[in-house]
Amino acid sequence: MDERRMVETLERQLSPRYQRILTHQNLSNNSIFREALTSRFGYVPVLNEVDMVLVDRKGRLFAIEIKCFTINGGFNRPFYDGIGQSLSLLRYGFDSVALWHLFPSDIDQKRFDRYGAATWWFIRNQLRLPLDFTYFKVENDRVDPQFIVMQYESPHSGVALLPIDSSRFVVTWKHPNPFTGEEEVKSLRAALVPALGLGDIVN
């Protein structure tokens, strides 16, 4: 699966639910953001690329890190891929941060459970990280991708729910960023919002 194409397809499918969605935001190339950080801190910290930035109807700001898994004998990525990147996004002051793992539909179910459900268990129940995590089975990924939301049942199993663009499915954000009250994080958010052109709609 082509990750850039998957992100752009998700943007189209999610856009009716959000005020605005930005994709592939490379913060290191954002001169407005870099200048604001230099002025505030005297240096530019290591900056990330954010796969998706979403603004909901209430003006809340969310970030999503997306990883696509492919199979060539084994998976192309370790099950924990993207956790560190997702955690680093918390420092920018997003209201919540999510990690989404995408898997092809022809995946072996046991292997799928071992990666998807096990990662959910690892993030939520073992590490108890302040991240929203979801994994998906992607059908028709080469023609018209459909993102089937998976529901964790145990550390070893999960079941398919609904396509993410179904009117019956609600995207929820259950884990608020615990660092939004810290001064450095507030400064980063104050610089990020106008740098992304979102100052008119973000709280």
User: What are the start-end ranges of the E strands in 15-95?
Assistant: 20-26, 49-55, 61-68, 71-72, 74-75
Query: Domain for residue 82, yes or no?
Result: yes
Q: How many domains does the chain have?
A: 1
Query: Domain for residue 202, yes or no?
Result: no
Q: Quick one: tokens of 171?
A: 């995207």
Phi, psi of 11 (to 5 degrees): -60, -45
User: What are the start-end ranges of the E strands in the chain?
Assistant: 20-26, 49-55, 61-68, 71-72, 74-75, 96-104, 132-139, 146-154, 157-163
Query: Domain for residue 109, yes or no?
Result: yes
Query: Domain for residue 200, yes or no?
Result: no
Query: Domain for residue 137, yes or no?
Result: yes
Query: Domain for residue 134, yes or no?
Result: yes
Query: Domain for residue 203, yes or no?
Result: no
Boundaries of domain holding 145: 3-195
Q: How do the pLDDT tens digits run along the chain, 203 residues long? A: 789 999 999 999 999 999 999 999 999 999 999 999 999 989 888 888 999 999 999 999 999 999 999 877 667 788 889 999 999 999 999 999 999 999 998 888 888 888 899 999 999 999 999 999 999 999 987 788 999 999 888 888 888 899 999 999 988 999 999 999 999 999 999 999 999 999 999 98
Query: Domain for residue 201, yes or no?
Result: no
